[in-house]
Every structure is written in structure tokens, then in C-alpha cells.
Amino acid sequence: MALTNAQIDQIRGTAHEVREDVLRMVHAAKCGHPGGPLGMADFMTTLFLAHMRLSKDNLHAPERDRFILGNGHTCAGYYALLAQKGLVARDELMRFRKMGSPLQGHPHRNAEIGIDFSTGSLGNSLSVAVGMALAARLNGWDTRVFSASSDGESQEGQIWEAATSAAHYGVGNLTVIVDFNNIQIDGVMREVMDVRDLREKYTAFGWHAVDVDGHDVVAVDQALCDARDVLDRPSAIIAHTTIGKGVSFMENQAGWHGVAPNDEQFENAMAELAAAKP
């Protein structure tokens, strides 16, 4: 079912709040990765608000939907969305990366706040997602498994071993959303290690695969709806995004992959977001 105008406005407004929280968290921690989660905010918010069944009410239900963040360094946006869902206290966000906080620099599995997987080395995520999706099917659960990945993570061979397995076993309850921003820590992805056309790659591996504008809420929603209706194979949504989206001096800059803004940069970034508030 198509999103209503009110739902679209809500998603856009929440994505804007996620971007503000990401900047607050990384600035307060004085370390972290702002660029990725700023770019992922639109498609991640669409997923969390309109598609993924995760709430306080079903938190401990074994058949609820599952989420794995493969590019775990972008977790500030993930945590901000867990706060939007009421699973993380808002004041906890400001303890991001602090000693004793459950919100560390990579997600740590925590059933009490809805974190399903501890992200470690890039490349592991899709294998775990395939396993979760197969387990759900074996148990007869109406569970969908969602995995966020990236173009940089797609340079890892394990991603393609998992893609082969998922297609072979017809894991139709699995959807991966790939953040394709053409930037990684060492520079431009196509210069570091070009992964080329990921839609064609996933299609060749036997997946249902589509390209979307990762900042277009309506397009992302439609892609997720289409993926839900594909029952005989896994789905890949290649979300083309801009790293640092919403903050002009961070956009398309590899230097903002993993650097916290100083006080002046933080104030300028927040002012720019405030001026563009939906």
C-alpha cells in the first residue's frame, strides 16, 4: 500500500531529526562517523517507520522482523532510530561511544534495546542475515530480515558467498539495502576498488535487484513493498546516496567518513539543517 502524504511527511521529518541526532552524538563523543549515517537517514527511516516490525510491544517476540547493520561504523543513525522507536532513551544518545554506554562505536547485540547483531569486520553481515532468514523459515515465522550494507562492504568476498547461498536456498524473506555513495575511508570507491554495477551483480547471482534514489522516500518505500512481494528469492535495493547529505561541507567528502566536527563546524552544520527543516 502506498504511503499517505502524512506518512511521507512524517518519514522526512524523522529523517531530519535523525541527522540532527547524528551530529549531536558524534560531536559530543568527539569521534565517530557522521558522513555515512547522514547519507543513509532517508532510506533507514523509511525502513524503520514504514516496514520493519520492531517496537516495545514485540521486542521479545521471536517471530518479529530482524535488522543487521553491516557497515557498523554508521551506527549513530541506527541508534537515533532506535530512540525514535522508543527503545533507547534520548539522553542515552549523548553517551554514544562513552564508557559503560550500550551505544558503542559498532553495534553490540542487546536484546533489551532491539540490537540483533554485533557488527565486527565488514563482510560478515549478509552471511548472518541469510542464517537468520533461513532459521525464521524453518521455524515457520512470518519474519523478514533486513540488512543494511554498503558499496565498500561489497568489496568483501564473503558478501558474494552469502549472496550465492541466499539465492540457492530461495530466501525470499531477506532484503539487503546497499548504501551506494561511492565514498569510503580511503577515497572514491571507484578508484579504490570499483564494485561496478551492483544491481547487475545481484541479478546475476539470482536476486531480485533494483536501483533507487536513496533520498527519495517514495521510491525507497516502493522498492521495499516490491521486495516483500517477491517470495522465491532474496531482494537487493541499491540505494544511491550522498555521503554527508544535508550538510553542504560534508557532502561527497571522503574526509567526513570518520571525523567528528569541531565546535564551529557543529554549529554551522546544525544551523544548515535547521534552515532546511521540512
* Percentage above 70 pLDDT, the chain: 100
Distance between CA 250 and CA 116 in Å, rounded? 30
For the stretch 185-218, pLDDT in tens is 999 999 999 999 999 999 999 999 999 999 999 9
At residue 158 the predicted structure's pLDDT band, cuts being 50, 70 and 90, is: very high
Place domain 5-275 in its CATH homologous superfamily: Thiamin diphosphate (ThDP)-binding fold, Pyr/PP domains (3.40.50.970)
Distance between CA 71 and CA 37 in Å, rounded? 10
Position 182: which residue type? Answer: N
Task: Count other C-beta atoms under 10 Å from residue 189's C-beta.
Answer: 20
Report yes or no: 70 and 152 within 8 Å, Cβ to Cβ.
no
Q: Which of 211, 205, 213, 197 is nearest to 234 (CA)?
A: 205
State yes or no: pLDDT of 121 exceeds 90. Answer: no
Distance between CA 150 and CA 233 in Å, rounded? 20
At residue 120 the predicted structure's pLDDT band, cuts being 50, 70 and 90, is: confident
Cell for 122?
A: 565488514
How far are the Cα atoms of 35, 85, 183, 221 from residue 254, in angstroms, in the given order? 8, 30, 6, 28
- The string over 208-237, giving b where at least 16 C-beta atoms fall within 10 Å of a residue's C-beta and e elsewhere, is bbbbbebbbbebbbebbeebeeeeebbbbb
How far are the Cα atoms of 26, 188, 244, 245, 246 from residue 249, in angstroms, in the given order? 16, 17, 8, 9, 9
For the stretch 210-262, pLDDT in tens is 999 999 999 999 999 999 999 999 999 999 999 999 999 999 999 999 999 99
Three-state SS sequence of the chain: CCCCHHHHHHHHHHHHHHHHHHHHHHHHHCCCCCHHHHHHHHHHHHHHHHCCCCCCCCCCCCCCCEEEECCHHHHHHHHHHHHHCCCCCHHHHCCCCCCCCCCCCCCCCECCCCECCCCCCCCCHHHHHHHHHHHHHHCCCCCCEEEEEECCHHHCHHHHHHHHHHHHCCCCCEEEEEEECCEECCEEHHHHCCCCCHHHHHHHCCCEEEEEECCCHHHHHHHHHHHHHCCCCCEEEEEECCCCCCCCCCCCCHHHCCCCCCHHHHHHHHHHHHHCCC
For the stretch 40-50, pLDDT in tens is 999 999 999 99
Cell for 69?
A: 547493520
